[in-house]
Amino acid sequence: MANSAPMPLNEASRLSRITHMGLLDSTADDVLDHIVDMVALVFEVPIALVSIVSEHQQWFRAGTGLEERETPRDISFCAYSILGRDVLQIPDATQDSRFRDNPMVTGEPHIRFYAGVPLVTADGLALGTLCIIDNRPRAALGPREVTMLEMYGQLVMKRLNNLRKASYVDQPTGLFNRRRLEEDIVALADRHEHALVALDMVDPAFLDSIVKALGYSFAQELVRGMIDSCRRLLPEDTALYKVSPTRIALITRHTGPEQAEQLFRHLLKHFREPLICRNIPIQMDVGIGVLPLGLDRRDEKDWIRLVVSAADEARGKATGWRWYEPHLDFAQQRAFLLLASLADAVRSPDQLSLVFQPRMEVSSGRVVTVEALLRWQHPVLGPISPAEFIPLAEKTALIRSLSLWVLRYAVEQAVRWQAQGYAFKVAMNVSAIDLANSLFSDALFEQLAISGLDPGRFELEFTESALCENPDLTRLQLERLRALDIDIAIDDFGTGYSNWSYLRQIPATTVKLDKSLVEHLDVNEKDRRLVEAIVDLARRLGYRVVAEGAETEAVYEILCQLGCHEVQGYLIARPMTVSGLEHWMNGERTHKVRQLRALGG
């Protein structure tokens, strides 16, 4: 039975160093392979190995003459070698009580001679060995041979250290990488006195645009220019770490908010001036996140995520810098969770649903349109407001899936109402992304063809922002839709660009006044004058005017006086399920019309 070697006294530190140096990486290294080949040739042995002794195994980081890449630690010769600092020699393992019953002696590779030199770090941790093995007994190495083996061992150790350094450096920039940053934070003895700082130099989307316009080499040169600027502005001994293509980090002594913010003001002032790259001025958009490292957190590996989150928030809100705040991190984690869950919701049969809110024609009291509104019942979080999940989806390709889902179910419901004799249209909202290509339009044409719905019974609502993001493509898609007699409404009018020159080119039929313009008409004279001017001009240009957000009788009465064609809001009716809307249409609507006509509507 093999005898296991005793554990070194510094075993915990030794294992930690093996992990931090990445020595268990199975990737072959040409230099180490070349060294063991030379050692085998010089010492005339069939087997030479670079062995790393981990908690339960010994791993052969390089080797010649042995097919195995690992063996159990309890039968490892090298586990004995790491207990000392000198070369361990075993001239004949069959005569050594520690090894005579070892399965590597009694069986393949039939070890007889062994000599191993420990691979020791500068601070005295033996990580493994460089060893030579023969399957026949041999005389002990002479002093010159021992010295040679030790020198080869030193060469192996230098290579391992170089590999470690290479694994800590981002090659394009020469900065330390995330892995090195995490280890340096762990190594801080007085961590609570330090803060981690992330500089978000430029919007990643803007960097992508630079790559497309000016090439990857220009973008790389620009990034190096950012880094060089930071080096000049920071103390000479400041270590910089690259944590993403557009973000760098540093560790600073946390002496207090005032001292730290003085540094941030200095950095921001510098980057207000464009960075010149190849004689082209590029405006930076810097956000700085700050995370005191003394905060009590369970997951220490969250450092980088938390500080980058704060930097993103600073750049997004144009505040310059932002200290980490737990509630902001919670909001970002919730946003990510919702986006991840939303993809499943689209495929789920029972998470998404539609409700419908009527729009009433002022002159007749008829419901001429009902707007389809998306609702989401999360299986764990419960109901999620569309004001929360729609803006998130609009930042990703998920909005396309949501729009196609709403389209399908809105058309299906419009067909059923058409068959039941209801005369109103069904309206749905589309995003700028939906109008950026023909995917949505083609899907709508297909749905109309399959369902047999009269296109005049369908309306699309889009916001003004879609006009400015890509006016030519938007106009093209809207013209295709309008050619089928589908009504087009400009939603939330008055909150965006309100550019009448765009509107003259868009085949819209309806302008919907945003709730923010409408809700204070009865108390804000400026709002009233603005709405009066918009309604007058819209009517002159031939648009139908809809006011959304009518929630009081006083506001409704003013909207009637100003000449709005239709009104939508809680005063008329709240969003309702299909059955709720049908019940309202067949009963409560009549009472509501009489009530509003009494106001002079």
Domain boundary among 141, 167, 193: 167
CA distances for 118 relative to 132, 387, 421, 460, angstroms: 12, 64, 90, 75
Same domain for 497 and 586, yes or no, is yes
Percent with pLDDT over 70 in the chain? 93
Which of these ranges, 163-172, 185-194, 279-288, 588-597, has the smallest mean pLDDT? Answer: 588-597
Out of 324, 346, 369, pick the residue that ends a domain. 324
148 and 66 in contact (C-beta within 8 Å)?
Answer: no
Q: Is residue 511 domain-resident? A: yes
Average pLDDT over residues 109-124: 95
The angle at the Cα of 51, spanning 50 to 55, to the nearest 5 degrees, equals 160
Average pLDDT, the chain: 87
User: Any idea what DSSP says for residue 470?
Assistant: -
Report the candidate in 287, 238, 310 with the shortest Cα–Cα distance to residue 302. 310
Q: How many domains does the chain have?
A: 3
Q: What is the pLDDT of residues 65-99, one digit of tens each?
A: 998 899 999 999 999 999 999 999 999 999 999 99
The CATH number of whichever domain residue 284 belongs to comes to 3.30.70.270
Kindly report, residue by residue over 137-195, the tens digit of the pLDDT.
Answer: 999 999 999 999 999 999 999 999 888 877 788 878 888 888 888 888 887 878 788 88
Residues 315 and 349 in one domain: no
- State the residue range of the domain holding 41: 11-167
CB 137, CB 113: distance < 8 Å: yes
The rounded Cα 1 to chain-centroid distance in angstroms is 54
Q: Would you state the pLDDT for residue 459? A: 95
Element (H, E) at 428: strand 425-429
* In contact, 534 and 585? CB cutoff 8 Å: no
Task: Give the pLDDT confidence score for residue 488 in this predicted structure.
Answer: 92
**Spatial separation of the C-alpha atoms in residues 406 and 447, rounded to whole Å:** 12
- How confident is the model over 444-456, as a mean pLDDT? 93
Q: Determine the Cα–Cα distance for residues 556 and 359; give it in Å rounded to an integer.
A: 13
Q: What is the DSSP letter of 6?
A: P
Q: Are residues 144 and 123 in the same domain?
A: yes
The residue length of the chain stands at: 601
Residue-wise pLDDT for 353-395, tens only, equals 999 999 999 888 889 999 999 999 999 889 999 999 998 888 8
* Residue of higher predicted confidence among 262 and 124: 124
pTM over cut 0.95: no
At 294 the pLDDT is 73
Clarify whether residues 465 and 407 are in a common domain.
Answer: yes
Same structural domain for residues 55 and 115?
Answer: yes
